[in-house]
Every structure is written in structure tokens, then in C-alpha cells.
Structure 1
């Protein structure tokens, strides 16, 4: 799955990389979590960023509380599930990022956070779909989820799923409203392992309240007793 990610680059770097106008109130983010309002680029408006909530309410369950929303969808079945196939065809988006986090379990009560980035620390994006729904107070909200796929060799030692990561070419295809379904499904695959890096980071990332550069820094893995632990 993908449950946390970062977007720590500057407004200028984002506008240059994605050739889209960033929102005026943008601030770098280091520990983005579900339910938060974050920048995305949609196929309907590819020249500008939009702020959507991470966590989508399926068509059959409008007005569900935030805790029951979905945050990911499997790329392998995105064109088959009733709750997602319309969004797949009509409401695609990309989610800019410069890293994401996963937790490796060392035991029943112990896990170590890892950060995954592009090998050259470049910006990339996740494949996403978006939707809109009416909130309990009658307001229209825009939400998105991130598509996941089987892990590459860089991720597989930590987790059994990874987000679908796009380069510029794949982004262009995904945001093309007239692209054929077969072509779209063809780009929903694991990102090349040799283009990625991973490293352990501070347990600070465990709390969504911590949203500073400190959560991204390389940190030696520690077990639940605070001792350094060596593992592959």
C-alpha cells in the first residue's frame, strides 16, 4: 500500500518539473497522510495544481466518515471494480511526490520506517484517480486515491505493494483524456528498481503530527528496546 509520502521541493521546482501553476498557499510537506488536503494534477486541468483530499469515498458509499474512506486501489483491477472503473476512464490524476514511506515488520510489536526516493532525488508522481462527493454538511469535496502495484526489488523486502510511479512520459499518457484503456493499463507497473533508493528514517515519521525535514533524515534502524538492529 501507500500510506505516507512527501512533497518537500519548492513551489518553483514543482512548477518547472510539471509545467503547471502551483497554488499560492503551497508549503513543502514532509509527512503527508490520508485525509489531508494536498496538490494533484488532473486530466481535466493539466496546466494547474488542485488541492484534493487524500481518501476517496466510493460511489456506493457517499457521506461515509473519513475513517472509512479508501486511500489506495489495486492497479490490476482498476478497470474492473464498479467503484473505480468510471473514475479510471474519466477522472485520472497524478500526485506529485519526492518520496514515500513504508514500514518493515521485525516482530509482532516492532516495525522500522523506510523512505523510498528516486535515485537522483528527482520529483516523480503517483498514478491516481479522483472523485467528488457531498459531505455531511452539503459541501462538495474532491478526493483522490493512489494506485498500487506489485513491488519491485527495492520495495519487496519491506512491503508487498508499492505505489504506481510515473515518469514524464507516463504522466502525459495518464493525463490524456482520449488515451485508450489498453495503453493506460500498460503503464500501471512497478517502477524500475535500479532507479530507486531506500533507507531507514526516524520513528518521528510514525506520527502525522511530525511534518518537518527531520522525518526524512537517514537514521540507523532500532528495535523496540532502543538497540541498533542490523538486517537486510
Structure 2
């Protein structure tokens, strides 16, 4: 799954990279977590950033609080699942990011957090789908989830799933309303391991309350007690 990611670049960086306008203020984010309001680019409005909540309510689960929603969908079955099929067909989005986090288990209690980025640490996007639903107070809310796939050789050292990372060319295909199902499914593959890198980060990332630059800095792996380990 993908349960945490970063978007540490500036508003100007985002606008230049995605050729889209951001009307709202944006501050770099270092530890984005489910339920939070973050920028996406939708197939309905590809020239501008929209701010949606991370977490989506299936059609059969209307009016659930955001915290109880799903955050990921498997790329292999997104076109078949009743809860996701409609979004996959007509409500696709790009989820801008510059890294994501996973935790490597070392024994029963110890987990080491890793950050995964492109080798040049540049911006990229996850393949996402979005939904519109009526909230508890009657207001219309917009939410999204991130599609995941099997891991490449970089990620599989830590986790058995990874988010779908789209190339620039494939971003356009993903947002294109005229792309057919076969074309779309062909995009949902693991990113080339040659394009990626990983490194250990501070246990600060474990808490969603922490959102500072220190979270994405390279840090020697430590166990839950703060002791250095032999694992890299």
C-alpha cells in the first residue's frame, strides 16, 4: 500500500512541472497522510490544481467520515471493482509527489522507515482516481485514492506493493478522457528501478503530527529505542 508521501517542492515548482495553475496557497509538505487536503490534477480540470481529501468513499459507503475510507486501490483490479470502476473510467487524477514512505520490518516490533524518490529527487505523479460525495453536513466533498501495483526491485526490499508512478508522457494519457481501458491498464506498471532510489529516514515520520524538512533527510537506521542498527 501507499500510506504516506511527501511533496516538499514549492508552489512555483509545481506549476512549472505540471503546467497547471494553483490558485490556493501551498506550503511544502513532508509527511502527507490519509484524510488530509492536498493538491491533485483531475481529468476534468487538467490546467489547474484542485485540493481533495486523501481517502475515498465507495458508492456503497456514502456519508462515512474521511478517516474510515479507503486510501489505495489495486491497479490490477481497479477496472473490475464495483466501487472503483466508474472513477477509473471517468474520474482519474494525478497526485503530485516527490517521494513516498514505507516501513521495513526487522523482527516483531522494529520497523525502519524508508523514503523512495526518483534518482534526481524531482517531482513526479501517482496515478489516482477521485470521487465526489455528500458529507455528513450535506456539503459536497471531493476525495481521491492512489493506485498501487507490484513493487520493482528497489521497493520490494521493503514492501510488497508500491504506488503507480506515471511518466510525463503517461500523465497525459492518464488524464485523456479518450484513452480506452486497454490503454489505461497498460500504464499501471511498476516504475523502472533504474529511475529510483531509497534511503532510511528519521522515525519522526511515524507520527502524522510531524511535518518538517527533517523528515525527508537521510538518517542512519535506528530501531524503536533510538539505537543504531546494522541494517541499511
Q: Distance in 2 between matches of 1:230 and 1:143?
A: 41
Q: Shift in Å at residue 228 of structure 1?
A: 1.3
The residue number in structure 2 matching 1:3 is 3
Map 1:68-217 to 2 at 5 A: 68-217=68-217
What is the deviation of 1:60? 0.5
Structure 2 length normalisation: TM-score? 0.98
Match of 2:36 in 1: 36
3-state DSSP of counterpart to 1:76? coil
Q: Distance in 2 between matches of 1:189 and 1:77?
A: 13
Q: Give the aligned partner of residue 18 of structure 1.
A: 18
TM-score by structure 1 length? 0.98
* Cα displacement string for residues 2-58 of structure 1 (whole angstroms, at most 9, x for unaligned residues): 000011111111111100001331111110000000000000100000000000000
Displacement of 1:231 in angstroms is: 2.4
Q: Partner residue of 1:227?
A: 227
Indicate the residue corresponding to 2:54 in structure 1: 54
Separation (CA, whole Å) in 1 of partners of 2:156 and 2:205: 20
Q: RMSD in angstroms over aligned alpha carbons?
A: 0.9
Range moving further from structure 2, 15-24 or 145-154: 15-24
Instruction: Tell me how many residue pairs correspond in the alignment.
Output: 232
CA drift at 1:108: 1.6
Q: Which runs of 5+ in 2 are unaligned?
A: none
State the distance in 2 between where 1:208 and 1:58 align: 24
Separation (CA, whole Å) in 2 of partners of 1:9 and 1:27: 8
Q: Structure 1: where are the runs of 5+ without partners? A: none
Q: Distance in 1 between matches of 2:176 and 2:182?
A: 13
- For 1:53 and 1:13, locate their aligned partners in 2 and report how far apart those are by CA, in whole Å: 22
State how far apart, in whole Å, the 2-side matches of 1:91 and 1:99 are.
24
- Give distance in 1, aligned partners of 2:23 and 2:165: 23
